[in-house]
């Protein structure tokens, strides 16, 4: 099908898709609680007559399939993925379609991702000549819940749920730094591995007027927080990438009491497997020994998060080829360097060739 015909089909669907996106934005739901959102997806697929299976990944995941109408019989499918969950953030945009759920907001744009894939289902279902079977993956809980892993575990890529096995998968994310009408990607690492840590420093409580009777966990925590920054500056090569961010600190209950405990939490981001292992090892040792040197004891809990989102070269070449044909080469850009954000799309790439790309959402003049 020529691009002009495809654009006309998309344009015909746009007004109603905007309505759906605004509806999803008004009713955001956190990971594994996307019951209404999943219901909207099922409603739209049912209306189109697109075969689908719901209730995946713990209850809210949906997979749909459009069979090929031409081409080689029994060909493997191309999969497209969208995430559906929102974030625990209070919306203050003042938009007419702002969140109606206190403390929950689609601040990461997954309402747009979900609507996008509903639009794909609408347009593809209207195309008579489909040479490739297409599997649509609507997943829950990208925001820390590893919903993508659970969809993989349920077998959505292997042909166990619906349709033939998947030969390649593609996903997108809205990107505020990229102009509307543009897309971008890169082969190899695109997004970082994301691990998290929770540290409790155990000391000895005393009155603030008598600090010599204490082992001060706040002082020890402060030294630990400063010391772990040497992982990036002194343990990893300057051309490698590692981020150690402490994002929460909690201690004490009164101004004149040195507390018994202090806690801090945060994230470690890396792009290489060996750097990931090194950073975790050094973090634990630095914190434990630094606290010990100040008379305290550190309890360190490290939690493994998402792997590196690593784009398959062949799938990425295919993305660039199709995108240039559809949008024009001037609107298809290379991502020069990986970003240290994370994505559970990475789990799909552990099973089949995958390409994740970014979609410009920055309006003109912004």
User: pTM for the full model?
Assistant: 0.93
| Beta bridge pairs of residue 174 | 359
Predicted local confidence at residue 160, as pLDDT: 92
| CA nearest neighbour of 147 among 37, 252, 4 | 37
C-alpha distance from residue 123 to each of 66, 118, 129 (Å): 11, 9, 12
Predicted local confidence at residue 72, as pLDDT: 79
Long-range contacts made by residues 32-38, C-beta under 8 angstroms, separation at least 24? 32/57, 32/58, 32/59, 32/60, 32/85, 32/140, 32/141, 32/145, 32/147, 33/60, 33/85, 34/60, 34/84, 34/85, 34/140, 34/141, 35/59, 35/60, 37/84, 37/114, 38/62, 38/84, 38/138, 38/140
Scored b (16 or more CB within 10 A) or e, 288-324 reads bebbeebebebebebeebbbbbbbbeebbebbbeebe
Predicted local confidence at residue 1, as pLDDT: 65
- Phi then psi for residue 330, to 5 deg, are -70, -15
Per-residue pLDDT of the chain (366 residues; tens, 9 = 90+): 688 889 999 999 999 999 999 999 999 999 999 999 999 999 999 999 999 999 999 999 999 999 999 877 889 999 999 999 999 999 999 999 999 999 999 999 999 999 999 999 999 999 988 999 999 999 999 999 999 999 999 999 999 999 999 999 999 999 999 999 999 999 999 999 999 999 999 999 999 999 999 999 999 999 999 999 999 999 999 999 999 999 999 999 999 999 999 999 999 999 999 999 999 999 999 999 999 999 999 999 999 999 999 999 999 999 999 999 999 999 999 999 999 999 999 999 999 999 999 999 999 998
Three-state DSSP state, 175: strand
């Amino acid at each position: 099908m020529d691009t002009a015909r495809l654009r006309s089909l998309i344009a015909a669907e746009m007004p109603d898709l905007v309505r759906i996106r605004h509806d999803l934005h008004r009713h955001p739901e956190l990971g594994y609680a996307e019951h209404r959102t999943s219901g909207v997806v099922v409603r739209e697929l049912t209306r189109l007559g697109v075969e689908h299976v719901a209730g995946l990944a713990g209850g809210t995941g949906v997979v749909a399939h459009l069979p090929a109408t031409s081409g080689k019989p029994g060909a493997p499918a191309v999969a497209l993925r969208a995430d559906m969950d929102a974030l625990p953030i209070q919306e203050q945009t003042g938009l007419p379609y702002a969140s109606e759920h206190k403390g929950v907001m689609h601040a990461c744009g997954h309402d747009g991702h979900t609507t996008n894939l509903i639009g794909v289902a609408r347009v593809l279902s209207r195309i008579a000549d489909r040479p490739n079977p297409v599997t649509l993956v609507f997943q829950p809980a990208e925001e820390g819940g590893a919903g993508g892993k659970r969809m993989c575990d349920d077998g959505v890529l292997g042909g166990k749920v619906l349709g033939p096995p998947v030969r390649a998968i593609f996903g997108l994310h809205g990107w505020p730094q990229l102009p509307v009408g543009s897309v971008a990607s890169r082969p190899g690492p695109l997004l970082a591995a994301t691990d998290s840590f929770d540290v409790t420093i155990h000391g000895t409580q005393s009155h603030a007027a008598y600090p010599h009777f204490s082992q001060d966990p706040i002082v020890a925590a402060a030294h630990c927080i400063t010391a772990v920054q040497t992982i990036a500056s002194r343990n990893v090569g300057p051309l490698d990438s590692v981020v150690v961010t402490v994002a929460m600190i909690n201690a004490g209950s009164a101004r004149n009491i040195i507390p018994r405990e202090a806690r801090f939490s945060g994230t470690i981001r890396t792009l290489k497997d060996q750097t990931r292992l090194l950073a975790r090892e050094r973090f634990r040792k630095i914190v434990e020994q630094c606290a010990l040197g100040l008379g305290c004891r550190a309890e360190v809990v490290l939690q493994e998060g998402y792997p590196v989102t690593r784009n398959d070269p062949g799938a990425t070449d295919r993305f660039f080829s199709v995108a240039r044909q559809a949008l024009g080469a001037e609107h298809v850009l290379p991502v020069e360097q990986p970003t240290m954000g994370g994505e559970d799309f990475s789990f799909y790439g552990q099973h089949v060739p995958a390409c994740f790309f970014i979609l410009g959402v920055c309006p003109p003049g912004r």
